[in-house]
Amino acid sequence: MALAARFSQLDTSLNDFLFATIGEEQSGMRLSVASALARRGFDPWTEGIRLAGLPRAKASEALAALIAAVPSARWKPSEAPTIATRLSLLLPTSGAPMPAPVAKPSDHRAKAARRMLWLFYAIVMAAALHSLIPDRNASTDAHGSLTPLHGVVSP
């Protein structure tokens, strides 16, 4: 199965770092770097590229602050620098700086426009169907009201 286009450009050199376990949460679940970054509102790949471009000490400091801020952690805040140092060693190191993330245009507006168009079509169709339903209160005689049959006396 091929990846969707929006996922195919993700930098796989960050996988070891992003999917590394920081530690266990109080629930017993392992917390990955990617999950911790996402919980703090960062795009994991963008932040990973940013951290990889920093000197290792600066990247480690930034990671330590992130790790210390995890509310449901089983580790002590004093352990955050040690964990951060271990994780920063997983960041890709190359002689060249990491490429800047490519900003891809969001298709949220296009999706919203399509939804509005479908809503418009649904309203038009509902109005058209409603106009086809006969009105029970309307008179069937164009010249006045009908006389009920039970009131007519036969000769």
Position 6 in a domain: no
Residues 48, 57, 83: CA angle, nearest 5 degrees: 70
Query: What DSSP state is assigned to residue 26?
Result: T
pLDDT of residue 103: 47
Q: At 110, is the pLDDT very low, low, confident or very high (cuts 50, 70, 90)?
A: confident
Cα dihedral across residues 78, 14, 4, 110: positive or negative: positive
Give tens-digit pLDDT for 111-142.
778 888 888 888 988 888 888 887 766 555 55
- Same domain for 81 and 109? no
Give the range of the structural domain holding residue 110, as residue numbers without chain letter: 105-134
- Same domain for 19 and 81? yes
Number of structural domains (the chain) is 2
Place of tokens 């990955």: 32
39 or 102: which leads in pLDDT: 39
SS3 24: strand
- Supply the mean pLDDT for the chain: 78
Give the tokens for residue 84.
């951060």
